[in-house]
Structure 1
């Protein structure tokens, strides 16, 4: 954060980040299903293309910032879009070729990556209490996964996609920092829409090149209705809505704390399973409480430091 946000802004940002964790928590297993019925490269391209209309509608409905923003620079836009494109491809392929459990474990280390990158790129020191909150969140996430039925039978062997998830997170955290520096004066809706549009263009170009080379396939002959719903959820909510909420959160509480909220994703996955008749185990409940405890602890510290209002 460049300046202290108000307490109400911190609360709204935290709520939005938890909503993002909910969306992204459900997106990983759904994406895994879709990669088995659709071409993986087409799916990666559709994520931004189909989510873009929602962001464009938001941009048209919301008043622009009062101050005139700086002139757009083509090179910066190209690099931001390329970083988002790299993340989309690496994330999609990484999930496809990773063990479901190890994929979530790798993604749970996002706050560590973000803290290191914020330190290197911005010189940002860890917020007071962040190491403890991070430790609680990491431990809780591991308990949630360890308590998942079938984990021991499946084992935790790496399947090749996990390194791609690490590199993908680095690309995403880099985008999150640079987007605020270069386009923050356009507001979070404008920032999210512009960068997503450039990323969509990059994805279309990449898919066309791969299709022309015979690497990427075409559209599937037919999709079941539930696969269509999965696709809508991943594209509209998993990309458009979540990216907007993420960027708002980063602008209010900073990248490392925003990334910490994403460790709630496994908790929401467990709650989703409980809603469809799969009750959580004791370890999952304990792990979920630890994750939420770390987030709430960090939230209270943020509220104490925030200015009234």
Structure 2
């Protein structure tokens, strides 16, 4: 099903924008916390566990929202399985390995280009043209995101090309595909609610990731922890699972359903800004370039929000 032209979208949907900003705030903590978790946990084990931890909360929300258990007959599994396995499962594997084989500064800089990736994905997959205000807003979002990512005072320079950068780019492309097709296949065509979409695709992702982990464990390239995990690591896993995988995905899907992928991704570029704010709250220093970059990203978001409301 072809998406409606961009000129028919309603980019000033305040509730949807708040949802995307909430996802940006939660995901702002994901890169440093994932890097911290990888110091003690296997990549494939972490990916499988974090999606499994998110399922109870997502299932309960879907049950309450739809007033019926989300697992029932006549579900479109032919669409749900690839969306979960590829859109979510492959995304988290590529993203986690990308962080492991790169560095947080480079990853944050790459993520700043997400609005461009999403705009290209919408053009290729759905034939959607950019609304009049979006090109300039994307320029502000990408430029401001790069300023935030690279403007760290006394910055630790990136470690050079190590291969993880290509994995992060692959993760961005896969996530853009998931964001587009989850709405086209499940929301528009199958009439499913956003909580149900989030739960069912996360369920398919968790099953896929456990299969990958078990195969990897048998082949020798994945391993479970050899001793009980301390409480701080479990708290990190719970945050990555319930908040970063569960709640943020739900907020993101809701925002995309109302704003469209390109506008939502543009607003998601507040993610590195929130990452800096969290770091400052924990005692880190912020440079003037990061502060200026945050204002530039915010200007792009406001520029889109000021667009005339169209039907």
Q: TM-score, normalised by structure 2?
A: 0.91
2:102/2:159 contact within 8 Å kept: no
**Partner Cα separation in structure 1 for residue 183 and residue 158 of structure 2:** 40
Structure 2 counterpart of 1:270: 276
Pairing 1:59–2:62 present: yes
Out of 29, 32, 46, the residue aligned to residue 32 of structure 2 is 29
2:108 equivalent among 92, 104, 108: 104
What SS does the corresponding residue of 1:62 show, helix, strand or coil?
A: helix
**C-alpha distance in 1 between matches for 2:148 and 2:203:** 36
Aligned to 2:137: 133
Following superposition, the deviation at residue 42 of structure 1 comes to 0.1
- Give the alignment of 1:1-309 within 5 angstroms: 2=4, 10-64=13-67, 71-83=74-86, 84-151=88-155, 153-155=156-158, 157-184=160-187, 185-301=191-307, 304-306=308-310
Distance between the aligned counterparts of 1:64 and 1:254, measured in 2? Answer: 26
| Structure 1 residues 155 and 174, CA gap change in structure 2 (3 angstroms) | closer
- Stretches of 4+ moved more than 3 A in 1? 1-8
Which secondary structure does the structure 2 equivalent of 1:305 belong to? coil
Aligned partner of residue 269 in structure 2, secondary structure: helix
Cα distance in 2, alignment partners of residues 191 and 38 from structure 1: 29
| Counterpart Cα distance in 2 of 1:20 and 1:220 | 33
Q: In 2 relative to 1, CA 156–213 (structure 1 residues): closer, same or farther, beyond 3 Å?
A: closer
> How far has the Cα of 1:81 moved from its partner?
1.6
CA distance in 2, matches of 1:266, 1:64: 36
Matched residues, number: 300
* TM-score normalised by the chain length of structure 1: 0.91
RMSD across aligned C-alpha pairs, in angstroms?
A: 2.1
Contact 1:99 1:159 in 2 (8 A): no
1:241-299 per-residue CA deviation (whole Å, 9 max, x = no partner) reads: 01111110111000011111221111101111221223422111111100111111112
Q: Hey, which of these two has a bigger chunk of helix by percent?
A: 1
